[in-house]
């Protein structure tokens, strides 16, 4: 199952996506992270919800002000954890 997190705060242009990717790779997670047009960042993780929560908690050096997590119906099958540039 896939989970989607939308994260807001000081998360764009501060190395947040790269930090998420590094930690996700350390944890052996599959998915992707990308910037949103509204200033937030979206993480899609193909694993258990608690793994996504663990990944977000690991980003405690960034100023995160809001997080929402919900199931995602993405059919994509990533082979790694990627940064998407849209």
Q: Is 25 helix (H, G, I), strand (E, B) or coil?
A: helix
**Which residues are known to be catalytic?**
17, 35
Q: Is 52 helix (H, G, I), strand (E, B) or coil?
A: helix
């Amino acid at each position: 199952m896939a989970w989607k997190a939308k994260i807001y705060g000081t998360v764009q242009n501060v190395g947040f996506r790269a930090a998420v990717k590094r930690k996700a790779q350390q944890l052996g997670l599959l998915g992707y992270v990308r910037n949103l047009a509204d200033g937030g960042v979206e993480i899609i993780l193909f694993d258990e919800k608690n793994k996504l929560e663990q990944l977000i908690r690991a980003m405690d050096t960034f100023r995160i002000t809001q997080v929402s997590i919900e199931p995602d119906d993405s059919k994509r099958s990533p082979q790694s954890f990627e940064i998407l540039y849209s």
